[in-house]
Every structure is written in structure tokens, then in C-alpha cells.
Amino acid sequence: MAGTFTTRTINMATGATETMHDLTNACSAFLREAAHGRNGLLNVFTPHATSGLAVIETGAGSDDDLLAALRGILPADDRWRDRHGSPGHGSGHVLPALVPPHATLPVVDGELELGTSQSVVLVTTERDSPERQVRLSFLG
């Protein structure tokens, strides 16, 4: 049986502060419609120069720890060569080198195969663009 490819873009309001948005439920809902119980791969991609995707525990403090670590590594000040936008905007353009704009995850029997306490999250430290897109693609 030949594999299938299904894709969808979701729009997200991220606001004007650094944030993490849990995409796990959106990924699972997409797979219920697209995978039909099949095995395959889910690719999650954000087409933004200042956002990334992470697989991380949420709700127990790790999400806040990641944002704090990024603040320490990528402070929002005027040290960056890319200075358009608000102060510190250039740090957001370095973010995808540390938190990549993509993740490819296994799908088993139509369901996202994550470990205990793992979630798929969109990470953004940029304050100038309050909306983001995320593309979900299933190959199975």
C-alpha cells in the first residue's frame, strides 16, 4: 500500500510576550483525522525566523525553566546586529539555531508516540509578531 501525505496549517495567537504554546492536543486532533490508525511520521514546522519547536515536559516548571534559560542565553538587549523591531529583536533570530523550527515525531497506530510527560510546544521569544503559523504534516 502506498503511503499518504496530509498537511494542515494552524494559526496561533502568541501575544506580545515570550511564550510557549502546547501543540500536543492540536497534533493529536490532526492525527485522528489524517492517520486513520496508520503508522508514520508527524512533521511539525513553523515558518518563522523567530520561533522554534520543542518536545519538553510542561506544567511542572520545565517550560518556565526553558524560557529563563533562553533569556539568559539570548537577552533582549541591544547587543545584536539585527536591530530592527523592538529592543532585543535580534535575539529572536538566533532562537531557531537553539530551538529548531521543526520536529519529526513517530506515529504508531494513528497516535502520537511521546514519552511520559512530553509535550510538543511552540517557543517564541519575539514580541513584535503576535501571531504564528504551524504546519502539521503526516506521512504514513
CATH of residue 76 = 2.60.120.460
| Mean pLDDT value of segment 13-24 | 90
pLDDT at 1 over 50: no
Prediction pTM value: 0.90
pLDDT digits (tens, 9 = 90+) for 23-47: 999 999 999 999 999 999 999 999 9
Q: How many domains does the chain have?
A: 1
Give percent of the chain with pLDDT exceeding 90.
Answer: 69
pLDDT digits (tens, 9 = 90+) for 42-91: 999 999 988 999 999 998 999 899 999 999 998 888 776 766 666 666 77
Q: What is the pLDDT of residue 26?
A: 98
Q: What is the pLDDT of residue 5?
A: 96
Secondary structure in 3-state letters for the chain = CCCCEEEEEEEEECCCCCEEEECHHHHHHHHHHHCCCCCEEEEEECCCCCEEEEEEECCCCHHHHHHHHHHHHCCCCCCCCCCCCCCCHHHHHHHHHHCCCEEEEEEECCEECCCCCEEEEEEECCCCCCEEEEEEEEEC
Task: Work out the mean pLDDT of the chain and round it to a whole number.
Answer: 90
Could you tell me the residue range of the domain that residue 56 belongs to? 5-139
